[in-house]
Amino acid sequence: MSNGPNRHNRSFLAQSEQNVIRWILPRIPSNVTSLHLTAVGLVGSFVAAIGLIGCNWTALWLPLVVIGVLLNWFGDSLDGSLARFRNEERPRFGFLVDHTCDLFAQILVIVAFGLSPFLSLVSALTVLLCYLLFSAYTYIRAAAHHIHQMSYIGVGATEFRILMIFWASVGVAFHLREPLVSGLSRLDIAILLLAAISVVGLAVKAITDARDVAAEEITRHVPATVALPVKGAEDTAF
């Protein structure tokens, strides 16, 4: 789907990701639409969630997590790019459908992490809270600045997906068994501290953005300087 506001992506992998996307786009069959890709991304999140919960019983479910996250990346990263590549953009419709599906997909996967052996529900819900907070501010900023911020401190959706795969793999390798709900583990405390730092950072950015918008609006509403008559001009009117 296509996005309305200008896209602003400065994540660590943005350039490499775009090179891969540009290579894939011409090779997508003509009967595959951007809506189909959006659906693939959503299905991928379901597959990843099933794999994460299945890891409670055996590590053999881990490949399903990887496949699901990759499907989610493929559908989510290429749906809007395909619409732009084929000049089939529908900015408002695309923005609505794409980001609504993203929201449900990420909520599903993050909650599934909390039901997996790799994160406690406390940690997962903390991550979810931060995700929703940053998402909400992204949409607020898009309305105020007409810029869709796709990454923060170099981390965007792709880096977040890689982190998901990495953490699940580490959990399997080290036989991580985080309790669902049972006090606070050291991992919970670390995630809570990181979340607090992230929220403070977002608050600082919001204040900076508010100052920038205020300065722009003041500049825009300053009346033009009125030209004053030159002394003695009336004597030379003839």
The parent domain of residue 23 ranges over 6-224
Which residues lie closer than 8 Å to 173 by C-beta, 6 or more apart? Answer: none
Tally Cβ neighbours within 10 Å of residue 238: 4
Give one word for 85, left, alpha or beta, with left for phi > 0 and alpha for psi -120 to 50: alpha
HSE of 228, CA atoms in CB hemisphere, 13 A: 3
Domain annotation covers residue 235 = no
Domain annotation covers residue 180 = yes
CATH number of the domain that 216 lies in? 1.20.120.1760
Domain annotation covers residue 238 = no
Angle between the N-to-C axes of helices 186-221 and 121-145, in degrees from 0 to 180, rounded to the nearest 10: 10
pLDDT at 2: 42
Can you give the pTM of this predicted structure? 0.84
Q: Which residues of 80-105 are buried (b: 16+ CB within 10 A; e: fewer)?
A: bbbbbbeeebeeeebbebbbebbeeb
Tally Cβ neighbours within 10 Å of residue 113: 27
Domain annotation covers residue 52 = yes
Backbone φ and ψ for 193, nearest 5 degrees, come out as -65, -45
Domain annotation covers residue 237 = no
Domain annotation covers residue 122 = yes
Q: Measured between alpha carbons, how far is residue 129 from residues 55, 132, 187, 229, 233 in Å?
A: 24, 5, 17, 62, 68
Domain count, the chain: 1
Domain annotation covers residue 230 = no
Q: Secondary structure of 15-72 in the HEC alphabet?
A: HHHHHHHHHHHHHCCCCCCHHHHHHHHHHHHHHHHHHHHHCCCCHHHHHHHHHHHHHH
Domain annotation covers residue 57 = yes
Q: Measured between alpha carbons, how far is residue 86 from residues 1, 25, 90 in Å?
A: 11, 9, 12
Structure tokens at 203: 């608050």
Structure tokens at 108: 């599903």
**How do the pLDDT tens digits run along the chain, 238 residues long?**
444 566 667 788 888 999 999 999 999 999 999 999 999 999 999 999 999 999 999 999 999 999 999 999 999 999 999 999 999 988 888 889 988 999 999 999 999 999 999 999 999 999 999 999 999 998 898 888 777 777 777 788 899 999 999 999 999 998 888 887 777 889 999 999 999 999 999 999 999 999 988 888 888 765 555 455 554 544 444 3
The C-alpha angle 127, 128, 130, rounded to 5 degrees, equals 65
Backbone φ and ψ for 63, nearest 5 degrees, come out as -55, -30
